[in-house]
Structures are given as C-alpha cells and as structure tokens.
Amino acid sequence: MKTFVTFFFLMLMAMAGNAQKTKFKIDENNKELQLLREQAKKRTERQKEQLSPYSIKSKGKVLNPMLPACRNVSKYKTIDHGTVRILYAFNAEDIADPQTYDDLQRLEIGKNYVKYYGYNVFQADSIATVEFMISSKIYGVSFPMEGGNIFISMQIDGKHQGWSRNLFSEFFKDLSKNEMTEYCRMPSGRMLRKYNSYYTEPVPVQDWQIEEETQEIAGYLCQKAVCDFRGRSYTAWFTVDIPISQGPWKFSGLPGLILKVYDDRQEYVFECVGIEQHSQEYPIILLDNYKDYQKTTRLKLDKLLKSVCENYYQLTGMTDAVSTLLYPYNPIELK
C-alpha cells in the first residue's frame, strides 16, 4: 500500500477509535491537509515499492525482515555542534542516481562527538513525525505515535528492500572518552521492539597501510590505503586536502578524510557524494528513544541479529506469509 494512503488511513482509523471521546469532522478543503497529501504522493511516486511477505508479488522471492514503523524524532538531546557534514552513498549502483543507493548516509563531526547514521531513515522518521503532529492538530485528536495501537508504515528512498542493520543503526564516537556506541533498531514486530539494543566499545582502530596510488573522488585527489579489519579486507581512499581523520561507519585513523572505502568482495561500499560546509553550527543530536534500548555487547548483539534475520517469521508469528525465504545474515563485521 502506498505510504500516503497508509498514513492517512491510519489517522482516520485512530480517530474512529477515539470517536467516543472526540467529535471530529474532516474538512477536505483544509489547506494543510491537502498539502500533506500532495507531499506524500510526490514522495511515494519517486520511491520504490517495498515488497511485503504477504503480497503475491513476493512469492518465491528472498526477502529481508520488514521495515520497522516510523518513530517519533521530535524529542532529543543536543550533545554537540558541528559545521561540516559529509554525505556517503552506501552500495550505489549508479553514484549519480540516489535511487540506486541502498542508503544515503551522513557523517557529522563535532568537537567532542562524531555521529554516523542513515539519512534516508532519519528523513522518513522526521517526515512522519511532522505529518503526525500536524494531522493530530487538524483532526483534534491526541494519541502516542509509538507504543500504542498506531503503526505508521515506513517507506524510504533508495533501492534497499526491507530492514538492514546498516540502515537502522546509529553510531556515536565520544572523542573525549575514546568510545563508540552503536544504537541498533530492530525490524518490524511488536515482540522485537524490546530487543532494540546498544553497546559501547573502545573506538576501533584500523591498521592502515598507505600506498602510492591516487584517484580523484568527489573532486578531491585521494590516496590509497588498505587494511584488514574484523574479518574483511578493505581499500580506502582519503584526501589530505581535508585534514579530518574520520570516515564512514567505524573507519578512521588516516591523515585525511576517507572519501571512499570498500571491502574486497564489494559487499560494503561507502562513497562520498557531498561535503556540506555550514556557516552556522548545526546540532548533533541523540534521540530520547535510545533511553529505552537495552545494553548489550557487540558480540551478543551480533548473535541476536543473526537469530532475528534467520528466524524472523517465527519470531514475529508471520508463519502464513506468501514468502518465508530470508537472506542469510551477512554482517559487515565477520569477527
């Protein structure tokens, strides 16, 4: 079902459920309502349809676990500020076409924190939050966006089908403590929400070997470096023209910003597609949602995600799905 239909259908259903408490009348001429519908329709037209395990279109196809519901991102804490943002295409088929990316991801660099996250997912959550708040005002109803009977379906830009840890985790480096924390959001399923998890580890160190070969990426002259890290062999391209020793995901430690990095199987490819210089500082935020995440370790989380990915339909009770074929768990960290 298209996102804009699903969103407003859910709003109407929620209002119907509150009919005894609140009298309402939908004004189809309401300009805010019309604008929301037009914006939702435009987004849906450019987005690829997410296959459902209950759809006949999915018969015989291998799928990932389903996308989680949108979450409320209006409550957060500002932990730092930055003036530079770097955008990376994750697993792009055509670097010039964002709809061929698995995700568009952001690196935010502050004085004390470095944050890396999936921008497409954050954008989908942000849009849903704004639409939810505006629609609640239009219809005169009040109910929680999360944790109740409301499920606002997520539709994200890019080609990726379903949930992936690579899209639904956020990473924070605390430079003062030399620690990194991953907040991992589980796929769709009421029983899985309680397993939303985080862990903290020392900032990972890659043993880079710098080579002489150069290449131009995103308009910058870059130099090659290679390393082995947690079960994969990587090639990175960094530029000394931007003397920031950071990069996408957990990569860092080179004498310049990493603009491209990939493993030797080309299963994980991050490539810079934009560098934003802000004249005024922007906030680096930590969502309040993360207060409810359970603490774990990296290895325990990996074991949990392997079970979720390989037993998703049994864990969620979706045993009557048209397709029960799932991709094997293939994490970026093999060790």
pLDDT band at 135 (very low <50, low <70, confident <90, very high): confident
- Among 99-108, 150-159, 310-319, the range with the most confident prediction by mean pLDDT is 99-108
Q: What is the pLDDT of residue 94?
A: 96
| Distance from C-alpha of 237 to C-alpha of 272, rounded to nearest angstrom | 10
Percentage of the chain beyond pLDDT 90 is: 62
Do 174 and 113 touch, CB atoms closer than 8 A? yes
Rounded Cα distance, 304 and 292, in Å: 17
Would you say how long the chain is, in residues?
335
**Which amino acid type is present at position 27?**
D
Give the rounded percent of residues in the chain with a pLDDT score beyond 70: 82
Q: List, for residues 269-305, the tens digit of each pLDDT value.
A: 999 999 999 999 999 999 999 999 999 999 999 999 9
Q: What's phi and psi for 288, nearest 5 deg? A: -65, -25
- Residue 144: predicted pLDDT: 64
Q: Average the pLDDT over 116-122 and give the result.
A: 95
Exposed, middle or buried: residue 206 (CB in 10 Å: 0-12, 13-18, 19+)?
buried
Tokens 């379906």 belong to which residue? 153
For 216, the enclosing helix (H) or strand (E) is: strand 209-217
Is the distance from CB of 331 to CB of 232 less than 8 angstroms? no
- Give the integer Cα–Cα distance in Å for 38 and 26: 17
H or E element in which residue 277 lies:
strand 269-287
Higher pLDDT, 11 or 255: 255
Torsion of CA 122, 127, 130, 132, to 10 degrees: -110
C-alpha to C-alpha distance for 27 and 83, rounded to whole angstroms: 43
Q: Which of 119-123, 130-134, 235-239, 267-271 has the lowest mean pLDDT?
A: 130-134
Least confident of 57-61, 254-258, 288-292: 57-61
pLDDT at site 28: 52
pLDDT band at 58 (very low <50, low <70, confident <90, very high): confident
The answer to whether residues 158 and 174 touch, using CB atoms and an 8 Å cutoff, is no
Report which secondary-structure segment, H or E, holds 122.
helix 119-139
pLDDT in tens, 167-190: 999 999 999 999 999 999 999 888
CB 226 within 8 A of CB 237: no
